[in-house]
């Protein structure tokens, strides 16, 4: 029987925390624009519009014995930051202690261990303070972490997430979900101690009674509001991404998933991969801003004859821009032909066609985007043994179909399943594509 809970179902995470659709009842296009503005994304681009001086974002609070370090994210407009601090919550500028001219790191010393310190931070440019401000708190502790041979134990601070802990302590942000699984926690609570395994202890996600599945989702086109089978409207996509967030799924990079398939990497028990096919411009306009808002990695499979061939296609500049912003760009062949041998096609001509579909795609990707693709998505999901063999010869490490279903590690790396998400899919339809464990083949 399929199970949608992780393989350790005896100790599941919390029940789904569904939140009502925030966009319900609002004209979809307006909602899309509002969302994009909130996400700090221009509707048709990656960089946000020039705006007022923003408050700094605190990327981390590092605690130590009698001290706290507030580490700010880069803010290109700010000359410096002003920090107001107090030992009372709800810190007010008027009553708090003020420190001006603070740089990217605020080293606050002489503090009492076990006391919570509250901060309000503004950005300053040309002597003017930002109207926006950030608030954060932290608690100095005599001992903030312990280092063991195979683990670390750390006290979480308010700015921490499982991902940030993974980034800080393992230099690998995508291990956040594994830390969460190891501690069997729903959420990270400030000042709670957390164990961080330094090494994978269950690559491939097997237990004696079940095996892990990883769903790979596939999208094609996006739109502001109206959709059809292959076009997912923006509000639907936003709800689906929020569903993943609210229900404890971890969106992982495709490369991590392939390492899981090779039994070489442990991924979070509720892992999902997001892929987008073809190279439609609507991904740049409506899909990517949502992924950016949620901080989800994604892979765009492009067929190289498509960019700039049509007003609805991405330009190569946009593909490069997406790549520069962390979107993984991979091959979807040269022409998007059905790769099965067609009636009347001679074997020599067929072999040459396959070589070109793979070879030219890789070469053009290298020239136009500066990446060397390692993964292939078969157009229409169509393949046969020779297509797979030729894909391997062309140097593809893994290849993806559109057979619906989630993947255990033991599936063929050249026949990886993906589930297409359609415009008009309900939440239930979406949820049905998120199976993360199974036990049928062990019975």
> Is 359 one of the binding residues for other proteins (CB under 8 A)?
no
Sole residue written with tokens 């892929």: 275
> Is 439 one of the binding residues for other proteins (CB under 8 A)?
no
Site for other proteins in 77-136 (CB under 8 A): 86-90, 95, 112-116
- Dihedral (Cα; 80, 81, 82, 87), 10-degree rounding: -150
Nearest CB to other proteins, comparing residues 132 and 246: 246
| Main-chain phi, psi angles of 162, to 5 degrees | -60, -35
Q: Give the whole-angstrom CA distance, residue 204 versus residue 261.
A: 7
The widest CA-to-CA distance across the chain, in whole angstroms, is: 84
> Is 74 one of the binding residues for other proteins (CB under 8 A)?
no
Near other proteins by CB under 8 A: residue from 38, 385, 426, 428: 385
Nearest CB to other proteins, comparing residues 78 and 414: 414
Q: From the CB of 427, what's the least distance to other proteins, in Å?
A: 19
> Is 310 one of the binding residues for other proteins (CB under 8 A)?
yes
| Main-chain phi, psi angles of 21, to 5 degrees | -60, 120
Site for other proteins in 171-210 (CB under 8 A): 182-186, 189-195, 197, 201-204, 206-209
Site for other proteins in 242-301 (CB under 8 A): 262-263, 278, 280
Cα-based angle 244, 247, 251 (whole degrees, multiple of 5): 35
Q: From the CB of 395, what's the least distance to other proteins, in Å?
A: 14
Q: From the CB of 257, what's the least distance to other proteins, in Å?
A: 15
Q: Which residues contact 284 (CB under 8 A, 6 or more apart)?
A: 44, 45, 46, 314, 318, 321, 322
Nearest CB to other proteins, comparing residues 235 and 423: 423
- Considering only the stretches 8-16, 54-62, 123-131, 369-377, report the one whose residues sit in contact with other proteins under the rule CB under 8 A: 8-16
> Is 65 one of the binding residues for other proteins (CB under 8 A)?
no
Nearest CB to other proteins, comparing residues 95 and 372: 95
Q: Give the whole-angstrom CA distance, residue 299 versus residue 301.
A: 6
Contact in structure between 418 and 403 (CB atoms under 8 Å): yes
Closest of 270, 251, 61 to residue 186, by C-alpha: 270
Q: Give the whole-angstrom CA distance, residue 156 versus residue 343.
A: 63
Site for other proteins in 138-157 (CB under 8 A): 139, 141-143, 146, 148-151, 153, 155
Site for other proteins in 204-243 (CB under 8 A): 204, 206-209, 211, 220-221, 228-231
Q: Give the whole-angstrom CA distance, residue 110 versus residue 87.
A: 13
Nearest CB to other proteins, comparing residues 53 and 414: 414
Binding-site size for other proteins (CB under 8 A) equals 99
Nearest CB to other proteins, comparing residues 59 and 207: 207
Nearest CB to other proteins, comparing residues 123 and 300: 300
Nearest CB to other proteins, comparing residues 310 and 367: 310
Near other proteins by CB under 8 A: residue from 65, 367, 389, 395: 389
- Considering only the stretches 7-15, 239-247, 359-367, 429-437, report the one whose residues sit in contact with other proteins under the rule CB under 8 A: 7-15
Q: Which residues contact 306 (CB under 8 A, 6 or more apart)?
A: 278, 279, 313, 314, 336
β-pairing, 216-219 vs 271-278, is parallel
DSSP 8-state code for residue 287: I
> Is 315 one of the binding residues for other proteins (CB under 8 A)?
no
Nearest CB to other proteins, comparing residues 122 and 401: 401
- Considering only the stretches 76-84, 161-169, 345-353, 363-371, report the one whose residues sit in contact with other proteins under the rule CB under 8 A: 345-353
Q: From the CB of 360, what's the least distance to other proteins, in Å?
A: 17
Contact in structure between 157 and 64 (CB atoms under 8 Å): no
Q: How many CB atoms lie within 10 A of CB 226?
A: 10
Rg (CA), the chain: 24
> Is 411 one of the binding residues for other proteins (CB under 8 A)?
yes
- Count how many Cα atoms sit within 13 Å of the Cα of residue 49 in the half-sphere of its side chain: 9
């Amino acid at each position: 029987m399929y199970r949608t809970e992780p393989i350790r179902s005896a100790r599941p995470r919390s029940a789904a925390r569904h939140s009502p659709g925030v966009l319900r009842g609002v004209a979809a296009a307006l909602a899309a624009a509002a969302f994009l503005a909130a996400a700090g994304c221009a509707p048709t681009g990656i960089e946000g519009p020039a705006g007022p001086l923003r408050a700094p974002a605190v990327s981390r609070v590092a605690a130590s014995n009698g001290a706290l370090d507030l580490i700010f994210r880069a803010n290109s407009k700010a000359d410096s930051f002003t920090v107001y601090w107090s030992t009372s919550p709800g810190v007010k500028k008027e009553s708090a202690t003020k420190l001006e001219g603070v740089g990217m790191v605020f080293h606050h010393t002489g503090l009492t261990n076990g006391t919570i310190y509250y901060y309000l931070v503004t950005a300053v440019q040309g002597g003017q303070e930002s109207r926006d401000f950030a608030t954060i708190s932290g608690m100095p502790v005599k001992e903030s972490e312990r280092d063991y041979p195979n683990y670390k134990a750390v006290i979480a601070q308010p700015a921490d997430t499982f991902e940030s802990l993974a980034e800080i302590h393992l230099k690998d942000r995508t291990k956040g979900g594994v830390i969460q699984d190891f501690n069997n926690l729903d959420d990270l609570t400030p000042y709670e101690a957390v164990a961080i395994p330094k090494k994978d202890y269950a690559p491939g996600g097997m237990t004696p009674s079940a095996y892990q599945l990883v769903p790979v989702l596939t999208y094609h086109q996006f739109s502001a509001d109206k959709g059809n089978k292959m076009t997912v409207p923006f509000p639907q996509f936003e709800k689906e991404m929020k569903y993943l967030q609210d229900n404890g799924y971890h969106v992982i990079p495709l490369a991590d998933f392939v390492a899981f398939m090779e039994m070489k990497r442990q991924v979070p028990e509720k892992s999902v991969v997001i892929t987008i096919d073809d190279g439609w411009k609507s991904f740049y306009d409506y899909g990517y801003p949502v992924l950016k808002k949620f901080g989800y990695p994604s892979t765009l499979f492009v067929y190289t004859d498509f960019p700039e061939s049509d007003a609805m296609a991405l330009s190569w500049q946009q593909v490069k821009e997406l790549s520069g912003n962390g979107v993984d760009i991979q091959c979807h062949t040269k022409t998007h032909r059905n790769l099965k041998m067609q009636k009347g096609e001679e074997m020599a001509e067929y072999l040459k066609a396959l070589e070109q579909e793979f070879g030219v795609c890789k070469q053009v990707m290298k020239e136009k985007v500066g990446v060397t693709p390692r993964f292939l998505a078969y157009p229409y999901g169509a393949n046969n043994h020779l297509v797979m063999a030729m894909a391997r010869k062309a140097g593809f490490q893994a290849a993806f179909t559109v057979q619906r279903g989630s993947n255990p590690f033991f599936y063929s790396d050249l026949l990886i399943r993906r589930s297409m998400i359609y415009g008009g899919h309900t939440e239930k339809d979406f949820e049905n594509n998120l199976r993360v464990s199974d036990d049928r083949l062990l019975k």
